[in-house]
Chains A and B, each alone.
Chain A
Amino acid sequence: MVYLNKKEGISKGSNICWKNILSSAIVAVFVTILCLGNLAMAQGKLKPVSEEEFKKGKDIYNKYCAACHGEEGNGNGPLNGALYPKPRDFTKGQYKIRSNPTGSLPTDADLIHVISVGVHGTSMIPWDILELDQIKSILPVLKSFSEAWQYREPEPSVVLGREMQATQNTIARGKELYEQKECWKCHGEIGHGDGPSSYDLEDEWAIPIQAYDFTREGKYKGGATNKDIYLRFTTGMNGTPMPSFANELSDEDRWCMVHYVKSLTKQKKDRHEE
């Protein structure tokens, strides 16, 4: 936009002369060629899709996704106002639920997984109602919304360590880490999502968000299996204050955390039964 404004300044100036007009025309042509060139180059980085295939995906996107995520992919569809949590804005290329290291773009498998199983606690339903082919056809559309996809490649999925069995010890170790790593600051001392920092949490879009309440059963956004939760500890959630613990904690410790946070739901259940 700065560039545009500048140009406007020139043409609106009092010294309109042929030289200026000519030079701006030359610049304009040059810029256009450059842009087209860039685009051609950039598309080379993406998996090539035929125009027809892209259009097919775009139709499905507009029919089923655009109501929330917007035709421009900016999360500002007609239903945006009615939704909380807000629909994902694809233009930043930030995806929370992935299987690869923090900061990375999601793999195709990640995208397909999230679309097919939905996101719990949000209006993102499991789109298993669509054929797999249809879901796949949406991916190039999602990728077209952010230039991130032109310059970066998704990193490969992390390798899952062998899952540990939950024991009293692993839960106790998880609890220790929960305190040590200050999880409680957001997620609360007994996992209610009501820690001291929880009240002014924001994501990168400056939208207020809530720390997860572990006592709600099975409503984890990224899925409620041990593996899902392990992945969140490992990959973090891009765009949110939830960090990755891949470097800070050992594989075993991350499993211990999984066991501990899962035990919080159970504790609530036990309390109810009493």
Chain B
Amino acid sequence: MNYTKKLMLFLNMALLVIAIQFSGYVQAEKEKPYVPKKMDIYEGFPDWYNSVFKDNVGLKEGAGLFKDYYKPLKMQMYFSPLRHYEPPTVMDHTLFIEKERRDLCIRCHEGINTGAVEDWRRSAHFNPRKSGIIARKTKIIEGAIGKEIVSVDCFDCHVDTEKKQIRLPSAEECSECHERQVREFNSEKDHGRPNHIQAWEANVLVPWYPEAYRRGWLAGNGGCDMCHGISDKCDPCHTRHTFSAAEARRPQACMSCHMGPDHPDAESYGESKHGVIYEMEEERYNFDKPLAHVLVGEEYRTPTCQFCHMYQGGGRFTHNFVSKGIWRMGTVPPSNIEYKSSLKDYPYGINIIAPKIDIHSEENLDKRDKWIELCSNCHSPRFADVYLEQLDDFMFQAFGLTDDAQKIIDDLIADDILYPSSQNRDIYPLGDKLAELLPASLIGDGVWNAFKKTGGKVPVIGPILGVYALFYQGENNPTHIETSYAKMWFWYKLQGYKGFAHAQQDIMWWWGQSPMLQELGNIQSEAMRMRREAAIEQALGSKASHSQGGGSESHQPLTKKVSEFLQFFSVNE
């Protein structure tokens, strides 16, 4: 026992000495600055945000034009496989790479990444001839890369043989074999936003994103980031490590992102007859087959997200999900209706948002034909045509309702009755910097001047930049009435749209048209209240205008009731 005690004492002393020496070593080994490792394959559209993925996702810096105005959430580095991965330092893998010991990767990692290895064993990578269809696909790939494929294992995707390092593969590595799929997916950006490739750009190039950071709210934007980080990856749909085409052909592959108030795709499809039948008879659907070979009616009783949205016409399916998109997300006003409000001037000279859509342009009519062709797999072309025409009519009238709402608020602003006015409240998100950061050539002279002159105290309502109410709440900005309008714009119109487009009538009405009407009602009564209060103020002889910015003197005629009230008031005085 004595021996043990003495030895313990000695060891303790020795450990202390080692610890002291070690602490010096730890200090010397400071955090190294992040060096971007690789060019990004996505060029984006248009060109000015090229750097978005190139060197800025996550880590030390933000992305895009506002990159100096926010520090990204730490999680963001995981959105791009190229950004976060550091080759292992605890275990030198060079020896395994040099000797190409593929068997050892599996032996060891089976215990570490149990799920990953098990997934891979079930995948077509493990057995590229596991079924007739997969064997044929493998043969095509073999032809393209000029190499026989026995099995695709850890080594093939995770080893950078030049650098003798472990890597995390991104879409670029996948494209070594799956070139067509990656190219098709990339081609989404040629159709403008929204698309998967520019999802990250859309996430961080809105002024409320850096504003959220400035106000200490960015952690909450994790909810946006986690879907919008899809751009550089294949595994959001073909999940690791099965990377199954069959899995990605199932509607559930889309559902964790495509849901919720602004795009209730999962809800509307899931509760439609299409979706309900799919759910009831899932086992009768053949997801092993490429979409182009599916026997409609026999192997798919109803369509899936993928079947409709990947269809390119003429029996072709590709990885481009947006090529048939006519209404985009339902956020861009059509040019086919007359507007009473300032919507007639949309996009106000701003070049970074989409111009009005001509629903009946040649291009869009072509898209429409493709939809009808698609629906005609099961329905009569006339039915499809009528249904889609009615969808357009719904959208036209929905934009009409938002036009009514916008007119009410336009007038309040013009009459200097909107309370609190833009002069007497917080700035528009990042409004104080926008004129510096966005040149007039991007946002138009008018808008640029307004931001420049007012330092960001500009009322912004309506499409796209006006929906900030749902992402930012400054002090009294936006007001109740503007928030109602933003919801009408970005929630209820879109819910009605998706409800109709995915044939879920209840969502269309109760989460779409009905709340849209309710909000319009709220906007009307709120506007009336503001006018009434303004009239009271005026009658009481207080300052006629509550803003420093002046404004129109001429108010709208007061309603009878308010006039009566005021009369009563003045008589009693």
Q: Are B10 and A35 in contact (CB under 8 A)?
A: yes
Task: Check B108–A35 contact: CB distance below 8 A.
Answer: no
Q: Which of B108-140 contact A (CB under 8 A)?
A: 108-113
Known: A38-B3, A78-B90. A123 touches B10 (CB 8 A): no
Other A-B contacts than A121-B111, A123-B111, 8 sampled, CB-CB below 8 A, are: A3-B8, A31-B6, A35-B7, A82-B113, A125-B108, A126-B107, A129-B95, A147-B4
Is B5's CB within 8 Å of the partner chain A? yes
**A3: contacting residue among B9, B88, B96, CB under 8 A:** B9
* A67 near B111: Cβ-Cβ < 8 Å: no
Assembled-state Cα–Cα distance A117/B417 (Å): 83
Residues of A within 8 A of B8 (CB): 1, 3
Question: Is B12 an interface residue when CB atoms closer than 8 A count as contact?
Answer: yes
CA distance A63 to B90 in the complex (A): 8
- Is the CB of B101 closer than 8 A to any CB of chain A? yes
Given contact pairs A4-B12, A64-B91, A67-B91, A118 touches B5 in the complex (Cβ within 8 A): no
The yes or no answer to B99 lying at the interface (CB within 8 A) is: yes
Contact B92 A79 (CB under 8 A): no
0/1 interface trace, chain A 48-71, chain B, CB 8 Å (1 if under): 000000000000000110110000
Determine whether the beta carbon of B111 is less than 8 Å from that of A85: yes
Contact at B6–A34, with CB atoms within 8 Å? yes
Pair B7/A67 contact, Cβ less than 8 Å: no
Query: Which 7 pairs across A and B sit closest by C-beta, in order of nearness?
Result: A123-B111, A35-B10, A67-B91, A67-B90, A125-B107, A123-B108, A78-B90
The 0/1 profile, CB within 8 Å of A marked 1, for residues 89-103 of chain B is 011100110010100
What are 11 A-B interface contacts by the 8 Å CB criterion? A39-B7, A63-B92, A64-B95, A67-B88, A82-B113, A84-B111, A121-B111, A122-B111, A125-B107, A126-B107, A147-B7
Residues in A neighbouring B91, C-beta threshold 8 A: 63-64, 67, 79
Write out the residue numbers on chain B whose beta carbons fall within 8 Å of the beta carbon of A124: 108
Report the minimum CB–CB distance from A123 to chain B (whole Å): 3
Sorting the interface of chain A by its residue count into under 10, 10 to 19, 20 to 34 or 35 or more gives 20 to 34
* B25 CB to nearest A CB, Å: 12
Q: Does B280 contact A (CB under 8 A)?
A: no
Residue of A nearest to B106 (CB): A125
Taking A64-B91, A82-B112, A123-B108 as contacts, is the C-beta distance between A129 and B101 under 8 angstroms?
yes
Query: Is there an interface contact between B96 and A118, defined as CB atoms closer than 8 Å?
Result: no
**Is B20 at the interface (CB under 8 A from chain A)?**
no
Is B26 part of the contact surface with A, judged by Cβ < 8 Å? Answer: no
Find out whether the CB atom of A32 lies under 8 angstroms from the CB atom of B7. no
Q: Does B104 contact A (CB under 8 A)?
A: yes
Do A123 and B6 touch across chains, with their CB atoms under 8 A apart? no
Q: Are B112 and A83 in contact (CB under 8 A)?
A: yes
Interface string of A99-133 (1 = CB under 8 A from B): 00000000000000000001001111110011000
Judge if A195 is at the interface, Cβ distance under 8 Å: no
- A contact residues around B95 at 8 Å (CB): 64, 129-130
Residues of B within 8 A of A223 (CB): none
Chain B interface residue bracket vs A: 20 to 34
Q: Is A243 an interface residue, CB under 8 A from the partner?
A: no
* Whole-angstrom distance between the Cβ of B382 and the nearest chain A Cβ: 55
CB contacts (< 8 Å) of A129 on chain B: these are 95-96, 99, 101, 104
What separation, in Å, do the CA atoms of A89 and B412 have in the docked complex? 75
Q: Report A127 CB to chain B, min CB distance, Å.
A: 9
Taking a contact as CB atoms closer than 8 A, the residue among A64, A85, A125 that contacts B92 in the complex is: A64
Most central of B4, B10, B88 by chain A CB within 10 Å:
B10
User: Who on chain B is nearest to A72 by CB?
Assistant: B15
- Cβ-defined contact, A32 with B10, below 8 A: yes
Min CB distance B557 to A, Å, is: 73
In this complex, what residue of A is CB-closest to B92?
Answer: A63
Q: Counting CB contacts under 8 A, is A77 at the interface?
A: yes
| Given A4-B9, A35-B6, A123-B112; A77-B104 close (CB under 8 Å) | no
- Shortest Cβ distance from residue B121 to the other chain A in the assembled complex, whole angstroms: 15
- Pair A38/B6 contact, Cβ less than 8 Å: yes
Contact A31 to B9, CB < 8 A, known contacts A123-B109, A123-B111, A123-B112: yes
CA distance A3 to B13 in the complex (A): 13
**Listed residue (B6, B92, B113) with the most chain A CB atoms within 10 angstroms of its CB:** B6
A240 to B107, CA, bound (A): 23
Q: How far is the CA of A252 from the CA of B92 in the complex (A)?
A: 46
**A79 to chain B: which residues have CB within 8 Å?**
90-91, 112
Q: How far is the CA of A150 from the CA of B227 in the complex (A)?
A: 59
Q: Are B112 and A125 in contact (CB under 8 A)?
A: no
C-alpha gap A1/B92 in the complex (Å) = 36
Q: Is the CB of A3 within 8 A of B5?
A: yes
Which of B96, B104, B107, B113 has the largest count of A CB atoms less than 10 A from its CB?
A: B107
Q: Smallest Cβ distance from B106 to chain A, in angstroms?
A: 9
Q: CA separation between A20 and B510, bound complex, in Å? A: 87
Q: Closest B-chain residue to A77, C-beta based?
A: B90
Residues on the B chain within 8 Å of A82, using CB:
112-113
Contact in complex: A39, B10 (CB < 8 Å): yes
List of A residues within 8 angstroms of B10 by Cβ:
31-32, 35-36, 38-39
Q: Give the complex CA separation of A2 and B92 in angstroms.
A: 40
Q: Separation in Å of the A189 CB from the closest CB of chain B?
A: 27
Q: Cα distance A83–B88 when bound, in Å?
A: 16
A71 to chain B, nearest CB (A): 10
Distance to closest chain A CB from B155 (angstroms): 14
Most chain B CB within 10 A, of A77, A130, A147, is at A147
